[in-house]
Amino acid sequence: MSVLDKVDAATNLAKNNELQLLVFRISNQADSAYYAINVFKTREVVESKNHYLTEIPSAHRLLEGTIILRGMQIPILNLPAWLGVTLSREEKKASNILICDFNGVIIGLRIMSAYRVIKKNWNEIHAPESYRLNENGVVMNDTRLEDGSLCLILDYEKLLADTIPSAMVDVAKDTAELKNIQMPKKLKAGTTLIAEDSKTAQKALMQLFEKANLKMRMFENGKKLVDYVLAMEDPSVIPAIVTDIEMPEMSGFTVVQTLRANPKTRNIPIIVNSSMTGDNNKREAEMLGANGFIDKTKSHNIIPLIVSMMEE
């Protein structure tokens, strides 16, 4: 597939509220679960035995060390251990490393084997409430494979926050400049709406708005946000909307597309806030009508961007 074909594929998936998932397993045990990650967050799968692992002193227990891949030093995270699975020495030798791109940070996840790539509609991705009862839960969503097997989608942002905090927003450090910003009256008086399904990202965004003394309302997926907005008598009072891309039921791209197609909501400023920071996704967000795109390592820039858009 050529580069242009990949761009077209990503565009078509977004417009159809679809995504591609790489399904993998973390163990060879017969009862090992299937897990999944968005294909657009992955780069390649390499065999562990072909890469020398250098341990890092005093690192987080899940940060095994680093490997050098084509001149790039890549931290390796022990995904099985995060999920409570201990691999034997033989299993580690036979394992693979899934190279991923989160927020522009390249990391490797230890897995046992890649199963295959599947295509799903976001309305086939579910977020059972049982996953959300515990703030420390690691499973966000699930879907079904063709044979009925349950496939779990993890909160990879939580894994990053746990092991490499520098890959996430430091609210205390990154919000100092907010006190110097003159907030528009509509922003101070109104309530910014946010669609985000990661508990880790939700917490950071809530802290950001609290630091700025601004009101916000959180929705756990795009559909809930869109249903709320379209039920409003006057949606124009909304100062801004912030949406993730990857969410069950309705993706952020579909949120933008839906609100831009409605005369009552087409002028509300919309910012896409995502860890899928590739140029294709930024281009697609702009094409669909988003006013801005911020990766999750720079979420502290959301409020200054909203202010600049309102001033325009």
CATH class of 171-311: alpha beta
Beta strands in the chain (DSSP E): 18-25, 34-38, 42-47, 63-69, 72-77, 96-102, 105-111, 113-121, 139-144, 150-154, 191-195, 215-219, 241-243, 270-274, 292-295
- Torsion angle defined by CA atoms of residues 127, 230, 260 and 216, in that order, rounded to the nearest 10 degrees: -70
Q: pLDDT by residue (tens digit) across 114-123?
A: 999 999 998 8
Q: Average pLDDT, stretch 217-236?
A: 95
Helix (H, G, I), strand (E, B) or coil at 130: helix
Cα separation, 223 vs 257, in Å, equals: 12
Beta strands in 155-211 (DSSP E): 191-195
Q: Can you name the CATH fold of 3-167? A: OB fold (Dihydrolipoamide Acetyltransferase, E2P) (2.40.50)
Residue 7: the pLDDT is: 43
Q: pLDDT by residue (tens digit) across 243-284?
A: 998 888 898 989 999 999 999 999 999 999 887 666 667 777
Taking the domains of the chain in order of start, what are their residue ranges? 3-167, 171-311
Is residue 1 over pLDDT 50? no
Residue 247: the pLDDT is: 86
* 8 A C-beta contact, residue 86 and residue 61: no
Residue 171: the pLDDT is: 62
Which residue has better confidence, 163 or 195?
Answer: 195
Identify the residue whose tokens are 């036979």: 94
Which residue has better confidence, 127 or 194?
Answer: 194
Is residue 128 over pLDDT 80? no
**Residue 229: φ, ψ to 5°:** -65, -45
Q: pLDDT by residue (tens digit) across 90-127?
A: 999 999 999 998 777 899 999 999 999 999 998 898 88
Cα separation, 277 vs 246, in Å, equals: 12
Q: pLDDT by residue (tens digit) across 273-312?
A: 887 666 667 777 788 888 988 887 777 788 888 998 887 6
Most confident of 89-93, 174-178, 192-196: 192-196
Cα separation, 168 vs 174, in Å, equals: 11
Is residue 229 over pLDDT 80? yes
Which residue has better confidence, 147 or 170?
Answer: 147
Cα separation, 238 vs 253, in Å, equals: 19
Mean pLDDT, the chain, rounded, equals: 85
Residue 211: the pLDDT is: 86
Is residue 180 over pLDDT 50? yes
Residue 6: the pLDDT is: 45
- Is the full-model pTM beyond 0.75? yes
Q: Which of 42-46, 64-68, 97-101, 199-203 has the lowest mean pLDDT?
A: 199-203
Length in residues, the chain: 312
Q: If pLDDT is split at 50, 70 and 90, which confidence band does 58 have?
A: confident
